[in-house]
């Protein structure tokens, strides 16, 4: 059974890149309030990566690599174009100051969270984009409920907030290593659904992205960190201890997605073995999301037509 939703085709492609097979991007553009916005972005239909039937979700059925016809050079060109469109959309979002977007990134160690943030959000205006990493809880954080440290970092009006790891650590590492009773962990799935529904009801658009890599790809990336001097700083011996729990983490990720996938806070499972493919998918997803917010430039102040600047 398919785990993804269908999306209807659209017309009037204005970008030069043409699809290879049926899987390369087609950005469909239309003028929007004075700049060329994007009506809809299609990359293998980004909905191909949207979890639409969580009840039958099986993580191992999701792809980790690009299709055979994927072209890295073309993908690089497409990402460059996408970045320019994202810059325009974020400029509008920051000016309007009405929308809030929360992007949640989750992955196994070496899954590509940092690289995704650099590639997708690094070229945007830092005034309107924030990144929050969630490491091991501090003593103060442990003295509160587990969502206390998360809620204070959700986006305000005009902001895109990116969570590098998130509140989901409390149903992942906490579950795998049994840092909390399993009956308490079970309750947290409902807590999280309610928390995210609160944010959505108050006007936050939520995109949850799971970066899906294979165990072999994780091994290769760990070896790169060991063998390349400029990556040595990334390697931690603890990562190897966590790697020994690979199967348990896969089960925890699967349950996480199954139990917390909702209409207002959906999960996208993005193939992430190939970084360019990953970046292209997520950039298209961000364009599709921002261009669907119905944003508009704030009205100009009255009387500007009569102003003369000497």
| The pLDDT value given to residue 40 | 43
Phi and psi, residue 124, nearest 5° = -95, 165
In this predicted structure, which of 85-94, 109-118, 181-190, 299-308 has the lowest mean pLDDT? 299-308
35-68: pLDDT as tens digits: 444 444 444 478 899 998 888 899 999 999 999 9
Tell me the pLDDT band of 310, cut-offs 50, 70 and 90. Answer: confident
Tokens representing residue 151 in the block = 């809620």
**What is the average pLDDT value for the chain, to the nearest integer?**
87
CATH no. for 26-295: 3.40.50.300
Do residues 70 and 63 make contact, with C-beta atoms less than 8 angstroms apart?
A: no
Alpha-helical runs (H) found in the chain: 72-96, 113-121, 139-142, 148-151, 173-176, 182-201, 215-227, 237-243, 246-260, 275-291
Report which of 253, 272, 218, 291 is spatially closest to residue 49, judged by C-alpha positions: 272
| The pLDDT value given to residue 53 | 86
Tell me the pLDDT band of 28, cut-offs 50, 70 and 90. Answer: very low
| The pLDDT value given to residue 64 | 98
232-277: pLDDT as tens digits: 998 888 999 999 999 999 999 999 999 999 999 999 999 999 999 9
Residues 138-149: what's their mean pLDDT? 96
188-237: pLDDT as tens digits: 999 999 999 999 999 999 999 999 999 999 999 999 999 999 999 988 88
Alpha-carbon distances of 59 from 3, 62, 203, 210, 275, rounded to whole Å: 10, 5, 30, 10, 19
Question: What residue segments make up the domains of the chain, in order of their start?
Answer: 26-295
Q: What percent of the chain has pLDDT over 90?
A: 77
| The pLDDT value given to residue 19 | 36
| The pLDDT value given to residue 11 | 32
158-189: pLDDT as tens digits: 999 999 999 999 999 999 999 999 999 999 99
Q: What percent of the chain has pLDDT over 70?
A: 86
pTM above 0.75, yes or no: yes
Which is more confident, 121 or 32? 121
| The pLDDT value given to residue 273 | 98
């Amino acid at each position: 059974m398919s785990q993804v939703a269908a999306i209807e085709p659209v017309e009037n492609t204005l970008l030069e890149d043409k699809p290879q097979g049926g899987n390369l991007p087609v950005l469909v553009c239309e003028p929007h309030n004075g700049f060329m916005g994007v009506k809809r972005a299609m990359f293998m239909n980004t909905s191909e990566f949207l979890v639409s039937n969580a009840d039958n979700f099986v993580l191992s059925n999701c792809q980790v690599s690009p299709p055979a016809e994927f072209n890295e050079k073309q993908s690089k060109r497409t990402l460059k174009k996408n970045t320019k469109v994202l810059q325009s959309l974020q400029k509008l979002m920051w000016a309007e100051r009405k929308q809030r977007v929360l992007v949640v990134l989750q992955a196994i160690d070496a899954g590509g969270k940092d690289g995704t943030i650099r590639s997708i959000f690094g070229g945007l205006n830092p005034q309107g984009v924030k990144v929050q990493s969630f490491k091991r809880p501090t003593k103060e954080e442990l003295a509160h409920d587990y969502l206390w440290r998360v809620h204070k970092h959700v986006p305000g009006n005009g902001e895109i907030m990116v969570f590098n790891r998130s509140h989901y650590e409390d149903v992942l590492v906490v579950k795998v290593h049994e840092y909390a009773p399993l009956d308490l962990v079970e309750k947290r799935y409902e807590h999280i659904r309610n928390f995210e529904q609160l944010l959505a009801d108050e006007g936050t658009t939520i995109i949850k992205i799971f970066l899906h890599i294979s165990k072999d790809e994780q091994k290769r990336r760990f070896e790169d960190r060991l063998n390349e001097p400029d990556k040595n700083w990334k390697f931690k011996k603890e990562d190897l201890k966590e790697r020994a729990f690979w199967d348990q983490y896969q089960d925890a990720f699967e349950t996480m997605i199954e139990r917390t996938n909702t209409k207002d806070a959906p999960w996208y499972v993005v193939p992430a073995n190939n970084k360019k493919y990953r970046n292209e998918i997520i950039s298209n997803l961000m364009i599709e999301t921002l261009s669907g917010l119905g944003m508009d430039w704030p009205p100009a102040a009255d009387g500007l037509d009569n102003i003369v600047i000497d």
